[in-house]
Amino acid sequence: MIAAVEYMKAHPSEIVWVESDFEAASGVGVTVTEGELQDFVTRYISTNKEKIVEERYKALPPTLKELAANPLIKWADPKLRTEVVNAKFAQLLGPKDERDTAQVKKVC
């Protein structure tokens, strides 16, 4: 829905717009299978393994955001994408421990 609104904002002066362009910008008809998603996330984590191991679970939110914006898988089910990424992180890093739950010191 957001992508459709963004398309309309980008083409406000067009009286007649091209339906196929609108559909492509909105993800109409695009499907991302769980297998495709698994493969993509596996490749992403393999490519960024050093950074992920160093940052541990602190790298999870930026990873989710980056994958949600990626044109190859942005139309995947967001819940499934999150589940797959969480599982791959757990597989690589193991369960969260004290390194991942460190308290942030407040500076007054």
pLDDT of residue 13: 63
- Domain extent, residue 79, equals 31-94
Residue 69 shares a structural domain with residue 83: yes
Six-digit token pair at 3?
């992508």
pLDDT digits (tens, 9 = 90+) for 54-104: 999 999 999 999 999 998 898 899 999 999 999 999 999 999 988 888 666
**Distance from C-alpha of 57 to C-alpha of 52, rounded to nearest angstrom:** 8
Query: What pTM was estimated for this model as a whole?
Result: 0.73
Report CA-CA distances (Å) from 69 to 65, 66, 78. Answer: 6, 5, 11
One domain for residues 39 and 85: yes
pLDDT at 12: 65
Tell me: do 10 and 61 sit in the same domain.
no
Q: Are residues 35 and 85 in the same domain?
A: yes
Secondary element (H or E) of residue 22: helix 19-26
Looking at the fold, whether 23 and 53 belong to one and the same domain comes out as: no
Rg (CA), the chain: 18
